[in-house]
Amino acid sequence: MTIAKRLLAALTGGCLCIAASAHIDRGYQNPIIPGMYPDPSVCRVGNDYYLVNSTFQYFPGVPIFHSNDLIHWNQIGNVLDRPSQLPLKTANAWLGIYAPTIRYNNGTYYMVTSNIGNSNGTKSNFFVTATDPAGPWSEPIWLDQGGIDPSFYFEDGKCYFTSNPDIGIWLCEIDPKTGKQLSESKLIWEGTGGRHPEAPHIYKKDGYYYLVIAEGGTEMGHMVTIARSRDIYGPYEANPDNPILYHQRKITQASPIQGTGHADLVQAADGSWWMVCLAFRPQINGMHLTGRETYLAPVEWNADGWPVVNGNGTISIDMDVPTLPQTPTKSREAVYDFARMTGFGHEWVHLRNPHFENYRFTSRGLELTGTSATMTSIESPTFAALRQQDIDFTLTSTFSMTDALPGAEAGISIYMDVTSHYDLFIRENADSTQSLVLSYQLHSISGNKAIVPLPAGENVTVKIDGKDDRYTFSYSTGGAEFTTLGSLDTRFLSTETAGGFTGVTIGAFAAGHCTGIFRNLSYTPAK
């Protein structure tokens, strides 16, 4: 598609998209999975779709979702839910599980990914298998070819493996049972010249092998490019209209979606084609906190046999396009009454490899036993968290702290990384009194925003209101109205300031010699 055609499509609302006749619903909102769910990969089995994401320093790893319409997704598990599958050691927001790929072949599901900084010797890429996508999944099978963003392609009884062990995309054949490499690694495409060519996926259509990759780095300049070849080993011909998805153009300079890239294609049962990709929603000053999220766009194939994304190579929040028959799932509003729970749901995560003996559900609620690992430790603190999925939200929780020695803490953390978090917690003082403390850790700068006395052992209810530019912290005791403690700037927890590849998580923690008793927690997106 020429630049002129793209501009025309933009002015006409992307009307170059042509709906398949089986589509009966219309319209949806991006992101389809908000919050820190980056690097999406999708596969279809019959009328069912399965999608996975990166998790970096968090355990369990690689959430897996199910959908029947590509829009509404329900998390059915986590692929890597055992320490033997997921050693994280001292992973931070730059390390851990990178971009997974999910594929299905002859009754078996495959998930291949990278564990960076916690690898098996010199190897970083591995795959696991399952006959049920909800699990259990196998122990890791390690692969020789290095790089990141690995992917599988199956054809005629062969399994091909792609990654980027050097600049560009490399391909080899492997044994899908043992992981043994069966052919030499070959460079098949270096991309169009953008930095960091990565995220390769191969598809076959009309006699061509199509190779989709990401370029530009996973920042504002992220983009999706594509090439094709009659032979899987190449040579690959680049699409003359690359990039096929890119938001660093004039027509998207004011878009609330930026950093589009890392795409995967899937053909629906009705013959329509779709793309999932990552992007982020900038907040104040172009910074973002909710991480890289999962987005969806329709794809059509032009007369020259190249894919066109949403008519003009862009995506939007409100997608006015024909869709598959929709099957809505539950709202993101969540209320957790811990005394009625027996374990964590699939959506909960912990830092690195948690010590589960320090997490208990009792008639009193969620009891967290503190250890020497704090929120500023590179070890695994006692911390159970949810992803921040909305720019505007309210979170409340009621908790107390018992069996505490001086310096112990229990409360709520708004966490980006070990160097960057805001914490609202009860502290045990040297004189056996307790205080409610609002603190900040911003790289080398740390301190307390507010300190107020509390009756020892008393329940306190805290409220955190998240907005575009501020987190506002309030508290209540004894059923009284909420009192505001103060506000802290969101930008200091943004990816652009804090660094790393993750987004913000919010959850309950305990540190030092104590037991934090959390009665409840609720998360409510703004209407």
CA distance 196 to 341: 44
- Please state, in angstroms and rounded to a whole number, the distance separating the CA atoms of residues 33 and 74: 10
Cα distances (angstroms) measured from residue 197 to each of 147, 221, 225, 383: 11, 12, 9, 35
d(CA 450, CA 443): 19
Q: Where are the beta strands (DSSP E) in 232-327?
A: 237-238, 245-246, 258-267, 273-280, 293-301, 307-309, 318-323
How far apart CA 77 and CA 64 sit, in angstroms, is: 6
The residue length of the chain stands at 527
How far out from the chain centre does Cα 191 lie? 25
From the candidates 39, 264, 417, 423, give the one annotated as an active-site residue.
Answer: 39
Q: And the tokens for 468? A: 């575009």
Task: Identify the three-state secondary structure at position 438.
Answer: strand
Q: Is 496 a catalytic residue?
A: no
Computed from CA positions of residues 379, 381, 386, 392, in that sequence, does the dihedral angle turn out positive or negative? negative
Q: Catalytic annotation on 39?
A: yes
Q: How many CB atoms lie within 10 A of CB 362?
A: 10
Indicate the residue type of 322: P
Cβ proximity of 368 and 518 under 8 Å: yes
Least Cα distance to 489 among 474, 472, 502 occurs for: 472
- Select which of 149, 190, 198, 215 is catalytic: 198
| Neighbouring residues of 54: CB distance < 8 A, sequence distance ≥ 6 | 38, 39, 62, 97, 98, 99, 100, 113, 501
Rounded to the nearest angstrom, the gap between the alpha carbon of residue 292 and the centroid of all alpha carbons in its chain is: 6
Peptide bond into 60 cis (omega under 30): yes
- Give catalytic residues, as residue numbers: 39, 198
